[in-house]
Amino acid sequence: MSILVYTENREGKFKKQSFELVSYAHALAQLAGREVIALSVGEVADDELKQLGEYGASRIIAIDYSGHLESRNFSKLIHHWVGALGPDIVLFADNNTGKSLAGGVAARLKAGVVSGVSGLPISMEPFILSKMVYTGKVNAQIQINTHHKVVLLAGNSFGVHTNPVTSIIEHHNIVAELASPSSELLSTEMQKGKILLSEAEVVVSGGRGMKGPENWGPIEELAGLLGAATACTRPVSDEGWRPHTEHVGQTGKVINPNIYFAFGISGAIQHVAGVSRSKVIVAVNKDPEAAIFSVADYGIVGDVNQALPQLIAAAKTLKDNA
């Protein structure tokens, strides 16, 4: 039996999340006595495909395709390969792409699907996974009852680990039966250096305590030094200080970076709902009683205007010494 991993690439380069996913699949394969098969769709060179072997994929199925596949057809394609290869576990990264494909694959397989999974299964028989529910307030153990199991791994939850194996690369064209497309990708607008908030490993965020949009320079500078995405609280985006795409919380985005920096953020429950799945939370607030300190791992009681320059200087030193 095998585990099938959908490994996403962007412009021919695998995303780090794909390597994390293969590392996870490898660990799962050890537990379950399975082979790890990676499925790649797009124009990816053999040198790049070979990298999947470094993390534990012993068989790499490369579907050479240069166009845009709409999600319905993408799911059909993956479903076809599940049929052809016979895995019982199908893995996706829990990101925008994984979320748009996993449900369609699971529906076609009549398989149980669990998203936001962190860590290896608690048990293989029955197959039980753990994740957070109720906006991070509760831990849940979810059992999948079906033969096929579709799992979406939360980003940054397992890490990238090398497990070099000898791997075989097989190239294929699309052979699955697809529907005639009902949508078209009109345009893609890329912003250089912009990190997608929901995929970022480090997030630097500011609240009303930053006092105004003109004070965001240091937040962006620190983010730049740490390779981080920037975020904000709802009032900050409501005021138009920052774009609404940065708003995190109950009504904004839900994120799970390795580290979340909260500058001048009080830590209201609706805000924390969006960030409580972060591994480490750092808070800087002048009010020692601020609620954010009760969810933070590291804190500074003080003025953001004094703390930020010191943090920037220290981050520069760290970067220079790296």
Ligand X SMILES: Cc1cc2nc3c(=O)[nH]c(=O)nc-3n(C[C@H](O)[C@H](O)[C@H](O)COP(=O)(O)OP(=O)(O)OC[C@H]3O[C@@H](n4cnc5c(N)ncnc54)[C@H](O)[C@@H]3O)c2cc1C
List the interface residues with other proteins, window 70-109 (CB under 8 A): 70-72, 75, 94-96, 99-108
Q: What residue ranges bind ligand X (CB under 6 A)?
A: 207-209, 233-236, 249-252, 264-266, 268, 270-271, 274, 285-287, 290, 303-305
Q: Which is nearer to other proteins, 26 or 271 (CB)?
A: 271
Upper half-sphere CA count for residue 245 (Cβ side, 13 Å): 7
Identify which range of 46-54, 80-88, 124-132, 212-220 contacts other proteins by CB under 8 A. 124-132
Q: Per CB under 8 A, does 162 bind other proteins?
A: no
Minimal distance, residue 152 CB to ligand X, in Å: 22
Q: Give backbone dihedrals phi and psi of 310, rounded to 5 degrees, phi first.
A: -65, -40
Q: Which is nearer to other proteins, 84 or 140 (CB)?
A: 140
Q: For residue 293, give the DSSP letter.
A: H
Among 85, 250, 291, 305, binds other proteins (CB under 8 A): 250
Q: Per CB under 8 A, does 135 bind other proteins?
A: yes
Binding mask 301-320 for other proteins (x = CB under 8 A): xxx--xx--xx-xxx-xx--
Spatial neighbors of 7 by CB under 8 A, at least 6 apart, are: 14, 18, 21, 22, 38, 39, 40, 52, 57
Q: Per CB under 8 A, does 124 bind other proteins?
A: no
d(CA 121, CA 29): 11
Tokens of 113: 């699907």
Minimal distance, residue 284 CB to ligand X, in Å: 6
CB 152 within 8 A of CB 117: yes
Helix H or strand E segment including 204: strand 202-206
Q: What is the CA radius of gyration of the chain?
A: 21
Q: Which is nearer to other proteins, 53 or 155 (CB)?
A: 155
Q: Which does 320 bind (CB under 5 to 8 A by kind): other proteins, ligand X, none?
A: none
d(CA 178, CA 170): 21
CB 63 within 8 A of CB 28: no
Upper half-sphere CA count for residue 98 (Cβ side, 13 Å): 27
- Residue ranges in 257-286 that form contacts with other proteins under rule CB under 8 A: 258-259, 269-270, 273, 279-280, 282-284
Minimal distance, residue 209 CB to ligand X, in Å: 2
Closest CA to 212 of 234, 232, 233, 236: 236
Q: Which is nearer to other proteins, 36 or 200 (CB)?
A: 200
d(CA 167, CA 169): 7
Q: Which does 90 bind (CB under 5 to 8 A by kind): ligand X, other proteins, none?
A: none
